Structures are given as C-alpha cells and as structure tokens.
Structure 1
Amino acid sequence: MNFDLNEEQRLLKDAVDRLILDQYAFDQRARYQDQADGWSRQLWAQFADLGLLGLPFSEADGGFDGGSVETMIVMEAIGRGRLLEPYLATVVLAGGLLSAAGNDAQRAELVPALIGGQLLLAFAHSEIQARYDLADVATCARQEGDSWILDGAKRFVLHGDCADKLLVSARVSGNRRDPDGIALFLVDATAEGVSRRGYLTQDRLRAADVTLSGVRVDAAALVGEAGDALAHIDQVVDAAIAALCAEAVGAMEQAYVLTVDYLKVRKQFGVAIGSFQALQHKAVDMLVMIEQARSMALYASMMVSDPDPLERRRAISAAKVQIGRSARFVSQQAVQLHGGIGVTEECQIGHYMRRLSMLEFMFGDTDHHLAQLARDGGLIAANA
C-alpha cells in the first residue's frame, strides 16, 4: 500500500505548514489568545482564503471533496502550532454532521457561509451524566404543531461561546441511554431560552456550557430524521477522534523537535547535555513512540470511512489507545529533559503537555477505549 502523499496533498501540506510557521510563533499565539474570542478572526479568514474550511465538503456543496488524509494533514499542522481556532468544532464535528445528515436546503444555506468563514458552528452533545457514552442524552425535544421545544443542558461544547449556531442533540423518544430516539436540531445561539457560559479549558482553548430552557425551533431546524441521529453522531465522532490523533502526532513531533534543540544548547559540566548517552536514549525512545503514534493515526484516517461500524470502531479505539500512551510518554519525557523550566509559562513544552493531556481525554480516554476494544474482540479478531 502506498502511503506517500500525492501532488495535491503535498501542496496542501506545504501551504498549511507555511501558514503555521509564518503566523503561529509562540508570542503570536499568546496575542491571539488575548483577543475577544480567544483566537484570531483574521487568521480564520486566511483559512477560508486557502480553502481549508471547505476541504472536507463535497464539490456539490461548494467544497473541495477532500478526504480523511487531507484532514489529517491539516490537523497535524494544527497540532504543531497548537492552533486556537475552531477548526475541529466547526469544520470536522458540526460540518461533518451537516454533511452527513443535513438536507439539500440546509447544506445550501449553511455550508457556503461556513466555507467562506462567515458562519461558526458548534456541536452541543456532551452532558454531565454521560461521560463517554454517546447514546446517553437527557436533553429532550417535544413537538408542538410545526415547532419543536428543547429543554436540557450541554457541557463542554467546543468553542460554543462564539458559535453562531449550535447543532444540538436531543431525545425525542425512549429512555435516556437508548440508542434510538435521538435527533439533531440547528439552534440559533442567540435564540430565546439559550444561555451560554464560556470558559478557558486547561490547554487555553475555549468551550462553553449551554442551557436550553423552552427553546422553540421550527420544523426546518430538524437535521435528518427524528430519532435516527446516533449513527451519524457515531461516525462523525470517529472522524473527530481520527483528526485528534493526527493533531496529537503533530504536537508530539514539535515537542520532540523543541526538546532535541534544547539538548543541543543546554550545557552542564561544560558540555551540551545532548552528548550524554542516557539523554540520547530518552530522545530515541520519544521518537519511537511518535512513529508508533503516527502509524496508528494514519490507520485511523484510512479506516474512518469504513462502512462497517464495528471495524471502524475497533480501528479508532486502537488508535486512541496508542495515541494516549505515546502522548503521555512523549510529553512527560519532554518536560523531564527540559528540567524545571519545562513547566513554566514561558516555556513552550509545558503548553504542549497541556494540549496532549487534553487530547487523551477528549471523546474517551485511553482506559475507556482499551475497554471498548476488548469488548469488541480486539483489533484483530481471535478467530482471524
């Protein structure tokens, strides 16, 4: 199997890498973080101009028909630069759901604005009692004539504080953990009955808690069929996990580069500490873990479009387990090799450790996915 990038993919990688190199130095990121949204609207417009926001959408919807490999390329660059912008929230998660479940009218209205950078979407699904169970939805929606009334609360909505519209999951039938009976609704973030509490996450990105109290939406706000949304949610969350795996690889790669550079300039006993064999071994161990993670991230990107949900879930869980283990090892070693300055605000390594720690817990931590993989019979079935 050929794992080399084709010409278009190489051009994409060069363009994104150049953007990160030019626009996302350590001090530049700090300035973006101090802006009103916690990220740069100007840089978001550059994403739109480069076509990055339209990358995964179909040509029929105005996009570029990019696949999971193109998303992986972008997310690796995002990981290297620790980008603050809502690419995962708007393009991968909410945009993915809109592409998978939205009707022609919804896509025609919303996708061009999203691709142009004028529309921000956020996926409001997680609830306080659900932990990692995607089917655990207590937010309810009841029908009144031609309208739906939504009540409930959503937690940790990525970039939900700046979104123009929320893609909200709500239960229309069944018990709280039933896989059937979940629907998706497009809700204006400023609609009556919607309240948002935005906050900084541990890695200095943004999220929000969203409360819906008697929020009325019309029938056109329903995305897909009422009660059949979980299959779409499962598939898009798997795509998001594959994207996060790629982001983690980019972050680990940059943490490794910074650490090796530090070993070359930090001196002890009159020589660079990189000349000490024990520290060279640690650096090699970091590189091995990164390459293992890269292989699994590529595997996840290949399998994310698999039509068999069980095979796809096995691959995604296996990748998440390896990514979690590699991320923890690489970030801890990077901080250790930097010594005390590794955990200061002025040193980049501590910031990479924060982001990698957050990535491990998003959409299921290492233990959760290891247990899931065991329940599914392992990555390679026992009778294979």
Structure 2
Amino acid sequence: MNFTHTEERQLFKDSVARLIADTHTLDARNKAARTDLGFSAEKWAQFAELGAIGALFSEDDGGFGGAAFDVTVLFEELGRGLVNEPFLATAILGGGLIAELGNADQKAVIEEVIAGTKQLAFAHGEPKSRYDASHVETTAKKSGDGYVLNGAKAVVLNGGAADLLVVSARSSGAAWDEDGLSLFLVPGDAAGLSRTSYPSIDGLHAAEIRLDNVTVGADALLGGEAKAWPAIEKVIARANLALASEAIGAMEVARDMTIEYLKTRKQFGVVIGKFQALQHRMATVLLEIEQARSSVINAAGRFDGSRVEREMAVSAAKTLAGKIGRLVAEEAIQMHGGIAMTWEYAVGHFAKRLVMIDHMFGDVDYHIARYVALSKEAA
C-alpha cells in the first residue's frame, strides 16, 4: 500500500490547511457556535469556493473526488482547525445518501450542496436507538400516491439549519430489523415537522425532530422502498472514517501544544519537559497517535472492498480513534494543569471534541464488540 498522497491530494491538503490557518481562530469558532446557525455561513462559502465540499463527491455526482482517501485528507485538516462547519452532516451523511440512492432529479440537490447553498441533515438516530443504527421506530405509511411519516429523531447533526432532511422510517418489519427501512427527502419547513436545535459541548449543533403526520409525495422516496439499510450502513461507515481522520488532526494539535508547553513551563526552576516521567508519557502519546493514523490509512485502503472487510477496518479505526483520542485529551489536560481548563485556552476545546468523536456513531466498547461479531462472520 502506498502511504504517500498523490500530488493532487497534497495540493488540496495544503490549500485547505492554508485557508483554515488564515481564517479560523478559536474566538471566531466559538462565536459562530453561539449563533442559531451554529457555524459561519461565510466560512462555509469559502470552503465551497475552494472545492472542499466537492472533494467529498465523485465526478459522476458533480464533485472532484469522493474517494475514501479524499475524506481522510480533508477531515484531518478539519480536525487540526477544530472546524465546526457541517461537512459531516451535509456532505458525508445527507449528501452521501443522496449520492448512493438518488435518481437524477434527487441528485440535482448535490450541485447546490457543493456550491454551499444547500444544507442537509440525516435524521436517523432515535431516543431509544443509542448506537444501533438499524433500530428505527419512526413509521412510513402509504397514503394515496405518497407517504405519511410519524416519529421522533434525536441528536440530528445540523438538524436545525438543514434545508432538506434525509429521514429514515420503517416501512415494514420490527423495530430492530435491518430490512424494512426506507429513506425520504423531507423539506425542513414541511407541515407537521418540528425542530428544537441546541449546541453540544464541542461547539457543534444538533436538533430533536418530531414528525407528526408529515405527508410527502412518492418522489420523496430515496431509493427503493424498505431497501435502504445497505446504503445507511455504508454512509455511517464513511462518517466513522471521517471522524477517525478528524481525531488524528485534533490529536496532533493537542500533542504539539503540550510539547510546546513542556518546553516553556518551569517548576522548581527547571523546564518540566526535562522530567523523565513526562517524557515517557509524551513518547507513549506519540506512538499511539501513529497507531491510530495507521488504522485510518488501513480503513481508507479497504473501504471499497467487501462489506465485512470495510466494516471491520472502519470499526478498528474508530476504536483506536476513541481510545487514543481520550488518552491524548487526558494527557494534554493533565500536563498543562489548570490552564487547560480555561475557556480561552485551545487545548480544552480539542479535548472536548476528541471525547465527543468517541461517542458519535459508536464508542470504543461498541466497535470492539462489532469487530468481534464481524470477525466471526468473516471466518
């Protein structure tokens, strides 16, 4: 496996890094997070102009890339900048499902997404589902030429700002069945749909969504009726790959900030970076981050393989991202001391984001158990 970026990806990586370095400050990020939108519309437009959103879609869908390694390159830089613009919700989740299942008319939305003028969200998780992505109690009943949707969705990323929601609902089967799931495109202002948006501790926004007799036409159905599970599983795997990559970028910044602090902070008249115990702890952090990076590269390289191969590699990467991300966050805060807990100092914000990444789409315990189950399936 070739571990070096292509020339085009390296140029793209450098361009994104420059844009983030020039325009994204911690104060500006936190200010944007306190708005109703939850992010900066101006910065989102800048990313669109650069082609960062389009890099997450294939040329067939109007984008400029779309490969797994394009995802890892972009999200690592987003992690370094602690970017809270809705790449995951709009491009990976919502846009990814439309790209996977949409017809020509439905895919026309992707052009607006790439241009930065359309916001999406994947309304899938429910109050009782936790990490079980197949657990859907929201119902879709046929009514005339369309469908009537009823149910509740929880912690929907970008749910408050989305112009268009990709809503999962059960057309048939029991609540835990993988078969029987359908996806629908629902406008954010649809009659009977209510949204309560709120900020999360890491600077992103989510929403609780209720669907009370929301009526949609037959053209709102995304893909075949009751056949959405394979696409949902694949897009969630892509989201986990993106999150693991974002964690790498965030871990590296937290590591670098900690090393710099150890070089300057003095105790008992000595720079604390000279204490052997702290040196050993930082050496462990360095090695663990490289292990996490290797798992992300492995997952990206295997993403287009068989389902079991893809899911095992992604679960391994997400496990290490969660486990090592928490280690890096804890070590960075402990070695910085009290200053790391202040709002004005960046390392605490990186730590919060790393902890939240672990809990998105399955934590360490969940993905370890899933990896074991997939291993038995592959045997």
> Normalising by structure 2, what TM-score?
0.97
Q: Deviations over 1:72-131 (max 9, x none)?
A: 1110011111111100000011111010011111102x0111111110000000011111
Tell me whether 1:315 sits opposite 2:331 in the alignment.
no
Which residue matches 1:146?
Answer: 145
8 Å CA contact 2:123–2:166 kept in 1: the answer is: yes
Residue 208 of structure 1 aligns to a residue in which SS? strand
Letter aligned with residue 54 of structure 2:
G
Distance 2:35 2:128 in 1: 33
Alignment of 1:72-87 (within 5 A): 72-87=72-87
Pairwise CA distance, 1:65: 2.8
Which residue matches 1:11?
Answer: 11
Distance 1:183 1:375 in 2: 25
Letter aligned with residue 125 of structure 2:
S
Which residue matches 1:186?
Answer: 185
How many correspondences in the alignment?
Answer: 379
Pairwise CA distance, 1:332: 0.5
Distance 2:102 2:66 in 1: 18
Q: Deviations over 1:331-363 (max 9, x none)?
A: 110001001221221221111111111100111
Pairwise CA distance, 1:28: 2.4
Moved more, 32-41 or 15-24: 32-41
Which residue matches 2:26?
Answer: 26
Residue 75 of structure 2 aligns to a residue in which SS? helix
Which residue matches 1:202?
Answer: 201
Residue 55 of structure 1 aligns to a residue in which SS? helix
Letter aligned with residue 38 of structure 1:
G
Specify every segment of 5 or more residues in structure 2 that has no aligned partner in the other structure, as ranges.
none
Distance 2:71 2:309 in 1: 20
Distance 1:36 1:137 in 2: 28
8 Å CA contact 2:33–2:205 kept in 1: the answer is: no
For the aligned residues, what is the CA RMSD? 1.3
Moved more, 369-378 or 86-95: 369-378
Distance 1:320 1:38 in 2: 25
Q: Deviations over 1:170-203 (max 9, x none)?
A: 0011111111111000000111100000011121
Letter aligned with residue 40 of structure 1:
S
Which residue matches 2:155?
Answer: 156
Distance 2:22 2:99 in 1: 32
Residue 375 of structure 2 aligns to a residue in which SS? coil
Which residue matches 1:250?
Answer: 249
Which residue matches 1:69?
Answer: 69
Letter aligned with residue 98 of structure 1:
I
Letter aligned with residue 372 of structure 1:
R
Alignment of 1:296-307 (within 5 A): 296-306=295-305
Distance 1:98 1:225 in 2: 12
8 Å CA contact 1:296–1:319 kept in 2: the answer is: yes
Letter aligned with residue 146 of structure 2:
S
> Normalising by structure 1, what TM-score?
0.96
Which residue matches 1:357?
Answer: 355
Percent identity, aligned pairs only, is 46
Letter aligned with residue 253 of structure 2:
Q
8 Å CA contact 1:243–1:301 kept in 2: the answer is: no
Which residue matches 1:324?
Answer: 322
Distance 1:263 1:187 in 2: 51
Residue 283 of structure 1 aligns to a residue in which SS? helix
8 Å CA contact 1:242–1:304 kept in 2: the answer is: no
